[in-house]
């Protein structure tokens, strides 16, 4: 008897389990649920977690994620406003905010990813094609700096005229306010990647509310140049670096010339001052020597003459010197012994060696 009811008991247990599993379902914290009956939703979204009930075999549970989801697009080649092609790779974050609308318009997350491919890539193409290359590759928002005006440029002439007018109006009680001269580059706003990402998100968000999706943000992962643009960018970078290097060299050469000029001027001043001081010292020494000579000559003229003549002998008679002197020469007087007569004053012999007729000394 028990063996006859065993298969029936198994069938009853299976039916009870099937009915129980078809009646009850679990909703967790990460998802939201829509109940459909024969493919049509019969109620609003169920977002509160817990154990819920439904009609088995008739109603179906459609589950949707409440978390932030990621969309990752493929890199594509897009032309810019100035007809330069770039490879743009973007990513986005989104979430389902209206599950019922999402179910009716898209159906599931895989279909939503396909729709996002078309919407975000189209928005990216529209935004990139509306801006120049320099606006797309820049990673911050600022104004381009205007180049410094040269002496021959109209801006330089305008600034010189403005400075001249300011100098002429210095005596006025109310000073004139200078009007800055801005170039077109200063007045043109250059957008960066953050602003471009925001524009892409706004463009895509115009379509997404009809799908029950909230697009949180769109980010640019990578921007690469195509080969032709890359070569032109490298050439532009090289020329820009060369221009800056040439400007630095010019400034360095000017500073070097200015420093060398100052150095030469200071050296000339130092040399001139040193020469003047040396001449003053030489003049003072010559004057002091002349004074000493005069005092010595005044105190003992004969002895002074004798000492000077001996000094002349020392300088003249070096090596094998041949002198031709006359017998009555002052230079010959001490050699022949006349210098011992103290009563006669004599002039000192000349310092330079001389040759004369009438005598010979070896």
Residue 254: pLDDT band (50, 70, 90) is very high
What pLDDT does residue 171 have?
A: 43
Residue 315: pLDDT band (50, 70, 90) is confident
More confident residue, 133 or 124: 124
The tens digit of pLDDT for each residue in 175-216 reads: 444 333 333 343 345 567 788 889 999 988 887 778 888 999
Q: Check whether residue 74 and residue 127 sit in a common domain.
A: yes
| pLDDT higher than 70, residue 271 | yes
Q: Check whether residue 94 and residue 198 sit in a common domain.
A: yes
Burial 303-313 (b: 16+ CB within 10 A, else e): ebbbebbeebe
What pLDDT does residue 279 have?
A: 94
Residue 19: what are its φ and ψ, rounded to 5°? -65, -40
Of 296, 291, 327, the closest CA to residue 311 belongs to: 296
Q: Check whether residue 34 and residue 57 sit in a common domain.
A: yes
Tell me the range of 159-168, 278-287, 306-315 where mean pLDDT is highest.
278-287
Q: Check whether residue 102 and residue 192 sit in a common domain.
A: yes
More confident residue, 333 or 339: 333
Q: Check whether residue 246 and residue 109 sit in a common domain.
A: no
138 DSSP 8-state letter = -
Q: Average of pLDDT values for 31-48?
A: 87
Q: Average of pLDDT values for 65-74?
A: 91
More confident residue, 50 or 272: 272
What pLDDT does residue 151 have?
A: 45
| 31 contacts 12 by C-beta, under 8 angstroms | no
| pLDDT higher than 60, residue 331 | yes
Phi/psi-derived region of residue 208, left when phi > 0, alpha when psi is between -120 and 50, beta in every other case: alpha
In a domain, 160, yes or no: no
State how many domains the chain has.
Answer: 4
Domain that holds residue 61: 2-65
CA 199 from centre of chain: 30
| pLDDT higher than 80, residue 320 | no
What pLDDT does residue 239 have?
A: 92
Q: Check whether residue 128 and residue 219 sit in a common domain.
A: yes
What pLDDT does residue 249 have?
A: 95
CA distance 268 to 262: 10
In sequence order, what are the residues at sequence separation of 6 or more whose Cβ sits closer than 8 angstroms to the Cβ of residue 190?
A: 134, 135, 138, 141, 142, 143, 144
**65, 81, 100: which is the final residue of a domain?**
65
Residue 85: pLDDT band (50, 70, 90) is confident
Q: Average of pLDDT values for 313-327?
A: 73
């Amino acid at each position: 008897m028990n063996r006859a009811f065993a298969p029936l008991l198994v069938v009853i247990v299976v039916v009870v389990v099937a009915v129980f599993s078809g009646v009850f379902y679990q909703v967790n914290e990460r998802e939201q649920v829509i109940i459909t009956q024969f493919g049509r939703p019969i109620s609003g979204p169920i977002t509160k977690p817990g154990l819920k009930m439904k009609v088995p075999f008739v109603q179906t549970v459609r589950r949707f994620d409440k978390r932030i989801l990621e969309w990752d697009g493929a890199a594509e080649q897009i032309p810019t406003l100035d007809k330069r092609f770039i490879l743009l790779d973007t990513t986005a974050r989104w979430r389902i905010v209206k599950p019922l609308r999402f179910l009716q318009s898209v159906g599931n997350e895989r279909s939503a990813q396909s729709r996002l491919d078309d919407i975000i890539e189209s928005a990216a193409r529209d935004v990139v094609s509306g801006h120049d290359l320099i606006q797309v590759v820049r990673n911050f928002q600022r104004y381009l700096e205007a180049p410094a005006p040269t002496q021959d440029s109209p801006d330089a002439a305008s600034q010189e005229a403005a400075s001249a007018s300011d100098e002429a109006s210095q005596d006025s009680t109310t000073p004139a306010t200078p009007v800055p001269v801005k170039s077109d580059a200063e007045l043109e706003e250059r957008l960066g990647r953050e602003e471009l990402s925001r524009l892409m998100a706004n463009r895509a968000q115009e379509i997404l509310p009809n799908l029950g999706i909230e697009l949180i943000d769109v980010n640019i992962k990578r921007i690469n140049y195509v080969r032709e643009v890359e070569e032109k960018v490298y050439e532009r970078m090289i020329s820009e670096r060369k221009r800056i290097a040439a400007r630095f060299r010019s400034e360095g050469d000017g500073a070097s010339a200015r420093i060398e000029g100052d150095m030469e001027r200071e050296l000339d001043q130092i040399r001139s001052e040193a020469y003047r001081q040396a001449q003053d010292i030489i003049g003072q020494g010559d004057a002091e020597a002349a004074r000493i000579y005069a005092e010595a000559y005044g105190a003992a003229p004969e002895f002074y003459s004798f000492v000077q003549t001996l000094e002349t002998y020392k300088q003249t008679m070096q090596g094998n010197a041949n002198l031709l002197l006359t017998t009555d020469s002052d230079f010959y007087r001490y050699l022949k012994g006349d210098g011992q007569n103290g009563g006669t004053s004599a002039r000192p012999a000349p310092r330079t060696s001389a040759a004369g007729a009438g005598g010979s000394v070896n």
